[in-house]
Structure 1
Amino acid sequence: MAIIRAESLRALCIGQTLTESVPGRGNGAILFERVPSGLITATYRYSDLGKRKKFRIGIYREKNRDDGLTLNEIRERVIQLAKTAKTHGDLSQYYEGIKRKQELLILEEKRAQELLAARGTISDLFEDYLNDRLDKAESIDEMKRIYKKLLENNPEILNIYAAEAEPWHIKQLITPIYNRGAKIMAERTRRFISAAFNYGIKSENYIGRPCSKSYNISSNPAVAITIDRVERKIKRALSEEELSKLWHTLELTDRVGPIITMLIKFIIATGGQRVTPIINSEWPSYDLENKIAHLHHSKGRGGATNKRDHPVPLNVYATEIMNEMYRINGGMKRPWTTRNNSTPISLSSLKNAINRWLQSEHAFIGDKRIEPFTARDLRRTCTQLMAKYGIDDRSSDEIQAHGIGGIVNDHYRNNPMMTLPRRKKTMVQWQEILERVILV
């Protein structure tokens, strides 16, 4: 087979072919063919394991302005193909394999870029955790406040990838809080961070998780942090005289409004109920006709996903307070609010009201200022007064929703409404105790 010239190729009619051998023994040949479209195609024809095979090279460029390959470019290309065929055999399979590898590399690179873009920072992790806890944690406002402060004071740390967080990063977040003397807040912050990282470790296996961020956290860096603090045993309880003074003078205190005053009185009147269930409850929870507050608790195993009913009979004091609250906030979504959108009174507002009273001229017994206390201490005060005046521990625990978890209560004593007669009796006794204490 002679060497083909350009003139010979241009003379080809549709369906005609020309063949040119590739230099070297057994290297095959180039097949030129004029196809119906008028173009001349070039195909490499070779032998692999005794079988004749073809591999398309491309289009022969007849004119300079046309697309395709020149005759010399086709020959050079075929020489390389012949070498490849001797080494790798079937050219179609060989180049298809290369193509698949290239496509796989492109996909892997794309996936790597997507993973990099989806990598979550510590800030992303905290926000993801808070969004997951919106309907589950009663302390969500406190968590949000902690996160906001961390972001304000340490943006450079919160912007690193969560997977790269180490104990020393967490230490940097917490140490300034500890150094200003807020040891309890430092521990709360550590617990928040630890809970968020625990969530991040597990969350990526949750089906249906709305967040697309990937954390790839291998271990919780907050677990290694220990905060040295002196545990303060909480023993504060108000004396009868202190409780009476608070009841009668709280509303006289500057910057303590009537709603917050009645909230504190309601806590006392109902035997020291937990604050959060009270302020979160909407009006339908307060049955003023039957004089029952249907509160709900998420203490104990199961948390907020397993809220438990806690009916509280309303005695005379509590009923009078709720009737007054209905007069003030009857048109709101819930009684315990000072905002147009009916959001609950914040725990900080309750704390501020007590502190303002403690700093006022009313917080004195004789010439001695009353020692500080918190809303939690009011609950303890009620417990101790019940014990002092003869209410047995079981009745006291029942009215304050102590021990509401456990197998027996969950599976056998799981209808609190059946205990209403006993609870009403307890509240009558508590009413008599309050009359004795407050009216002295």
Structure 2
Amino acid sequence: MAKRTRMTEMEAYAVKTRQSEPVGSRGKGTLLLERKASGAILAYYRERTPESDKRLSLGTLTKKPKADSDERSLDDLRSEALRVSNEVAAAGGLVKYLECQIEQKATAEAEKIAAAESLEVARIERQRLADIESSRGTLGDLFLDYIEDRRGKATPGVVKELERLFKANLKTPHPTIIQMKARDIRADHILMVLNPIWERGSKVQADRMRSFLVAAFNHGLTVESVVGRSNSKVYSLEINPAAMVKVEKVSAPVERALSDEELKQFWETVEGTEGVGPVMALLFKFVIATGGQRIKNIIETTWVDYDLDAGTVLLAHRKGRGGQTMSRPHLVPLTERAVELMKRVQEINGDHLWPWTTHGKQPFVITSPTHAVADWLTSKHAVIDGAQLPTFSPRDLRRTCTQLMQKHGVDDRLSDLLQAHGQTGVVSKHYRNNPEAALPEKRRAIDLFDRALAKVLGEANGAGNVLSISSRKKKIADPMS
């Protein structure tokens, strides 16, 4: 009877100690089964040479292998032994095969670690980029950052105007645009902001808004290099998109001045105009009574700036690039007419910090006088002899007073001194910076102006006198009184 070279399944599963069968042809090794004391039958690939006897575990023999275990059926073990046999032969023996397996395992483990490290590096880089992106400021951040930068440098009125423009022209109408990163803003986005302003007829405001946007982006281009900066936002700007947009210059008419008849009509009716509050009406009269002082400078005054007994008000002129840091004092003499107006304001707002306020929380915003004049122009009072008066602005009251002085022979030098025209330069800064030094000349100018105003208003005595020297607290010699 021929000797069998392979075990039957019955023999394999009934092995007592150990039993083997060849794998493939002679010299290809054997499949060895060995029963342990526990009863488990372990399978090995076995390589025997004159010099060695080596084994490689293949798993555990069982009729019903379990998934995710080392259990194998007899057919599976034979297939695995044949695969190993071929790879051992190719490697030049089991020892070298095992060495290759160790190297491959080490390489695979190294690749796995490298892949994990690469993923971690990628994760860290993604987080870094995300942190950078989150720290990049939006257009809204940039404009608000610019506003904060202007505090202490520009006047409070300018800062409030910036805040108003931000809310009216950016935050409310364009919530999507202000949430865009500032570096992603392009000229077409600026046009989306400015075109609606232009189209509603606010052409001067469109130009101002464009100027503020240019300034805000210029601020963003350099602010990241400022030492000690408190704001952590970065903008990564490379261009100023607002600078690429042009707004057609629309200058408000500069030749409008009220005639004597128009000025008298405005003076006599402004307090009775619906929509014009009592303090606002008195503000217009005070501007006129003081010879056409800049309405913005008057609005910014507090009660501390007024000395009604001495008949003066101290204005701070901040016109020009110097702004808050380059303000110039301008002491204005008050006529009896002006003092009486201020006493009326005092009865209304004497408990507030500012005379020129509605609720006492802040002075009038700079646009309020413009709206008030517009209300007067649409009222029944803006009609003389059946003809509608041509439009004018609060600033035109200053020009009206200038021309009134010219018509009544007031010297241009006195007129300029009273209205603080051309009071700049090195000489003014270093030698004529005492606000009281020019007061006698200013009193002469305001006295002449008030005489002219009295004639326009048709007053019987023809004058509203400047406070006499004897009634002032500050005894200032006035050779012209």
The TM tier, using the shorter chain, reads 0.7 to 0.9
Which letter does structure 2 place at the counterpart of 1:408? V
Q: Residue in 1 aligned with 2:346?
A: 326
Match of 1:286 among 279, 298, 306: 306
Residue 251 of structure 1: CA displacement? 1.2
Q: Which residue of 2 aligns with 1:63?
A: none
Is the contact made by 2:315 and 2:330 (CA closer than 8 Å) also made in structure 1? Answer: yes
Equivalent residue runs for 1:355-366 within 5 Å: 355-366=374-385
Over 3 Å counting, the alpha-carbon distance change for 1:302 and 1:165 in structure 2 is same
1:322 to partner: Cα distance:
1.1
Q: Which residue of 1 aligns with 2:363?
A: 344
Query: 2:132 is matched with which residue: 105, 115, 129?
Result: 115
Instruction: Give the Cα–Cα distance (whole angstroms) in 1 for the partners of residues 423 and 377 of structure 2.
Output: 33
Question: Hey, what's the Cα distance between the residues in 2 that align with 1:107 and 1:394?
Answer: 72
Kept in 2: contact 1:315–1:431 (CA 8 A): yes
Q: Deviations over 1:98-127 (max 9, x none)?
A: x9x999998876654432221001111011
Segments of 5+ residues of structure 2 without an aligned counterpart are 1-97, 111-116, 460-481
Deviations 1:47-106 (A, max 9, x none): xxxxxxxxxxxxxxxxxxxxxxxxx9xx969x969xx9xxxxxxxxxxxxxx9x999998
User: 1:351 touches 1:375 (CA, 8 Å); kept in 2?
Assistant: yes
2:427 is the alignment partner of 1:408? yes
1:17-416 map, 5 Å: 111-135=128-152, 136-137=154-155, 138-148=157-167, 149-341=169-361, 343-416=362-435
Q: How many correspondences in the alignment? A: 352
Counterpart-to-counterpart distance in 1, 2:379 and 2:407: 30
RMSD, aligned α-carbons = 2.9
After superposition, the Cα gap between the structure-2 partners of 1:336 and 1:231, relative to the gap in structure 1 and judged at 3 Å, is closer
In 1: Cα distance, 2:354 partner to 2:226 partner: 35
Residue identity in the other structure for 1:362: H
Match of 1:61 in 2: none
Question: Contact 1:386–1:430 at 8 Å: present in 2 too?
Answer: yes
Report if aligned partners of 2:349, 2:360 keep a CA contact under 8 Å in 1: no
Alpha-carbon deviations, 1:126-173, whole Å to 9, x = none?
111112223314333332222113222222222111112221221222
CA contact (8 A) 2:137 2:234 kept: yes
- Percentage of identical aligned residues: 41
Structure 1's 312 and 76: CA in aligned 2 closer, same or farther, altered over 3 A?
A: farther
Q: Secondary structure of 1:223's partner?
A: helix
Change (3 A) 1:178 1:76: same
Which residue number in structure 1 is paired with residue 443 of structure 2?
424
Question: Secondary structure, in 3 states, of the residue corresponding to 1:310?
Answer: strand
Q: CA deviation at 1:423?
A: 1.1
Decide whether the 8 Å contact of 2:142 with 2:182 is kept in 1: yes
Instruction: Tell me the TM-score normalised to structure 2 length.
Output: 0.67
SS in 2 for 1:295: strand
Structure 1 residues 179 and 262, CA, compared in 2 at 3 Å: closer, same or farther?
closer
Q: Residues 337-366 of structure 1, C-alpha deviation per residue, up to 9 Å, x if partnerless?
A: 12043x112233322222222222222222
User: What CA distance in whole angstroms lies between the structure 2 residues aligned with 1:117 and 1:393?
Assistant: 60
Summarize deviations over 1:250-285 as a string: whole Å, max 9, x none: 112223222111111000001111112211111110
> Residues 122 and 346 from structure 1, CA distance in 2 versus in 1: closer, same or farther, beyond 3 angstroms?
same
Give distance in 2, aligned partners of 1:292 and 1:230.
37
The letter of the residue matching 1:397 is D
Deviations 1:264-308 (A, max 9, x none): 100000111111221111111011121110110111241222111
Partners of 2:327 and 2:352 in 1: CA distance: 24
2:302 and 2:186 mapped to 1: Cα distance? 43
Deviates more, 1:137-146 or 1:102-111: 102-111
Q: Which moved more, 1:196-205 or 1:404-413?
A: 404-413
Could you tell me which amino acid in structure 2 is paired with residue 139 of structure 1? Answer: V
Q: C-alpha deviations, 1:183-217, integer Å up to 9, x for none?
A: 22221221111111111112222223332110111
Unaligned runs of 5+ in 1: 1-71, 85-98
Partner AA of 2:146 in structure 1: Y
Task: Give the deviation of 1:232 after TM superposition.
Answer: 4.6
Larger gyration radius, structure 1 or structure 2: 2
With the length of structure 1 as denominator, give the TM-score of the two structures: 0.73
